[in-house]
Amino acid sequence: MSAAADRSTDRKPADDWEYVYRPKAVRKIVGAAVAVVIVIHVTFGLLLDHSYTGVTIDWADKLSLIGVGVVICGALLLLVRPRLRFGPQGVGVLNLVTERVYGWDDVVGMDYPDKAQWARLLFPYDEHIPVMAIQARDGEAAVAAMRSFREYREKYATRTR
C-alpha cells in the first residue's frame, strides 16, 4: 500500500464542503447506454419464447435475461459516481467505489497529464491518485474545476504551514 493511501481517511466529515464537482459528459453517455441496455434486455427477455433447436425457454430464463441487463446497468452507473470536493478540512476524492479524504498538508497539487482521460491528485514522493471526476471530455468545466482546486489549495495550504 502506498504512503498516500496510508495518510488518507475513509471517514465522512461534515457536509460543509465549499466546492463539489461531478463530471458532466459521462452522465449523458451512461444514461444513453443504460437506456439501450435496458430496452434490449427487456425486449429480448419478453419476446424470447422458444427455439427451433428444441430448447425450452420459460419465465425463469426470461427474467434471468432481464436481470443480466439490470446488473450491467448497475455496473455502468458506477461510472457516474466520481466526485471531487474540497473545503477547509481537505480534499475528498470519490472514484468508483470509495471516497478518500486528504488533508491540505498532504496534497502537493493536481495536474492533468498529456493524453490522459482524467486528472490526478499529487502527493509528496512522486505519488498520485486518479481524480476521475475531472475528465477530458468535460472541456471548460474541467478546466474551471482545476482552477478552483488550485485557488482553494493556495488558500488552505498556506494556513496549515
Tens digit of each residue's pLDDT (9 = 90 or more) over 68-103: 999 999 999 999 999 999 888 889 999 988 889 998
Residue 148 · residue 18 · CB < 8 Å: no
Q: How far apart are CA 63 and CA 65, in angstroms?
A: 5
Per-residue pLDDT, averaged over 35-50, amounts to 89
The DSSP bridge pattern shows strands 127-135 and 118-123 to be antiparallel
pLDDT band per the 50, 70, 90 thresholds, residue 7 = very low
Q: What is the pLDDT of residue 70?
A: 96
- Domain containing 42 equals 27-78
* 86 and 107, same domain (yes or no): yes
> How many structural domains is the chain composed of?
2
* 9 and 86, same domain (yes or no): yes
Residue 4 · residue 106 · CB < 8 Å: yes
Q: Which three cell numbers stand for residue 143?
A: 478546466
Q: How far apart are CA 147 and CA 33, in angstroms?
A: 31
Say what percent of the chain tops pLDDT 70: 85
> What CATH number is attached to the domain comprising 123?
2.30.29.30
